[in-house]
Structure 1
Amino acid sequence: MLQEAYIHSVEHLIAACRQPAGSAPSTGLNSTMLFHLLSGGHTEVIRACRTQPDLQASISRLDPESRTDLLAAQAPDGSHALTQMIRASHWATLREYALLLRAHASDKRVLQDILGRNDLPGLLDEIVALGHAPAVPALGEFWSLLGLTRRELLPLLPMPHPSAQTIMQVAQQMPGNAAARKAIAMLGQFGLLETRIFLPR
Structure 2
Amino acid sequence: MQPKKERKDVIKSRLRILETAQSLFAEHGINNITMRKIATTAGIGQGTLYRHYAHKGEICQDLIQESSQEFVDKVSSYLQQNKEMSLQGKLVALIHYAVEFIDKHSNWLVYIQGPSCEEGQQIIYKSQVYNFLYAQVYELIAASPSMQNNKDGDAGFRTDALLATLTPDLYLFFKAQRGLTHEKIKQHIVNLYINPLFQQ
TM-score normalized by structure 2?
A: 0.29
Higher RCO (CA 8 Å, separation ≥ 6 residues)? 2
TM-score normalized by structure 1?
A: 0.29
Kindly name which structure, 1 or 2, has the bigger radius of gyration based on alpha carbons. 2
